[in-house]
Amino acid sequence: MNDWTMIEAINHALANQMRANENIVIFGEDVGVNGGVFRATDGLQTEFGERRVFDTPLAESAIIGMSIGMASQGLIAIAEIQFMGFIYSAIDQILSHAARLRNRTRGRLTCPIVIRAPFGGGIHAPEHHSESTEAMFAHIPGLRVVIPSSPARAYGLLIAAIQDPDPVIFLEPKRIYRDGKQAIDDNGQALPLDSCFVLREGVDITLVSWGAMMKETLEAAKQLAQKGIDAEVIDLATIKPLDIDSIIASVNKTGRCIIVHEAARTCGVGAEIAAQLAEKSITSLLAPIQRVTGYDTVMPMFKNEHFYMPSTQRIIYSAIKTMEYR
C-alpha cells in the first residue's frame, strides 16, 4: 500500500496503465519535460520516452483533434488540457467529432480518449483557471464526465476511464490535489464508472455532491450529526451518465435532499438531479429539494473566491431549513 495525494494517485494510475498497454500515449502543454503544471505527469517521459509522453503547442483544438485521429487508428490518447478554462477552443472537436464517432460510424470506430483537465476554484488563480462547467459537457451525448473526490477514487476512476472505449472527460478538482493522502494499492484495479459512492449512511437527509465540494459536504454531515441530524452523503463521481437510481434509493429512505456543487446555479447538474427526483420520487419527499451552489457570475479573482464557493455553514443552514420544513 502507498500513501498518495490525489495528484500522486493520478500520476501512478497513468504509469500503471502505460506499463500495461504500449498503445497509450499522453500529451498536452508542458506534460513532457516539466511533468505538467501540477506535476501529474512527472517522470512519465523519462520512463516511457518522448514518443509516448510529449509536449504540444498551445493549441487545445489541435490537441483534441490529434487525440481523435490517434484513437480512431488504434491508440489510446490521454490529452491534458492545462486548465478547464482553456478547453473551450476544443469544443468543436469534442462535440462534433469525439462524442459522435461511434454513432457516426455505426460502431465501426470508437474513440478511446481521456481528456484530463484540472478544474474548479480555491487556489487563488485568475478567472480562466477556476472554471467549473461540468454541466456543459454532461449535456453532450456520447461523452462520459467523471470527477474524483479522493486519491483512491482518482486512481480507480482514471484507470476505468482509460480502459473505456469511448471518450471520457476526466475533471480533476485541483483544490484537493494535495489535500491529504490515502493508502492505495497500485494494482491497476478500476473503480466502476456510472455509479455513485455512498460515503456516509444516514436516515434524515441526503446530501449529494462531487469533486472538491465533498470535503465541505462531509464536514457538514459531521456537524449536523452533533445537532442530531443523521445525513447520508453521496459522491456522484460520474456526472454523466447519472446514477439517479442510487440517489432515488437514498431519498426514498430520508425524504429530503440537498445538492451541493461549486458550479453556477442555473442549469447546473444539481438542477438535473432535482428534476429527476421530482419526476421519479416526488411521493417520498418530505420537503422541497435544496441546492447549495456557486453563483451565476464569473468566479471572483484571487482572494475573493471564498465569497463564491459553497461553505460548510451554507450546507448546514440549508439542511436545518430543510429539516424544519412543514
User: So which residues are the catalytic ones?
Assistant: 129
Q: How long a stretch of residues is the chain?
A: 326
Query: How many CB atoms lie under 10 A from the CB of residue 147?
Result: 29
How large is the angle between the packed helices 244-254 and 269-280, nearest 10 degrees? 60
- CA-nearest of 177, 148, 150, 146 to 164 is 146
Which amino acid is residue 112, in one-letter code? P
Distance of CA 5 to the CA centre of its chain: 16
Distance (Å, whole) CA 172 – CA 285: 33
The three cell numbers of residue 190 are: 478500476
Q: Report in angstroms the alpha-carbon separations of 145 from 28, 168, 221, 274.
A: 19, 6, 26, 19
β-pair type (144-146, 238-240): antiparallel
Which helix (H) or strand (E) covers residue 72, if one does? helix 60-72
DSSP per-residue string spanning 277-321: HHHHSGGG-SS--EEEE--SSPPPPGGGGGGTS--HHHHHHHHHH
Distance (Å, whole) CA 264 – CA 267: 8
Look at phi and psi of residue 79 and say left if phi exceeds 0, alpha if psi is from -120 to 50, else beta: beta
Name, in order, each residue with C-beta under 8 angstroms of 324's C-beta and a sequence gap of 6 or more. none
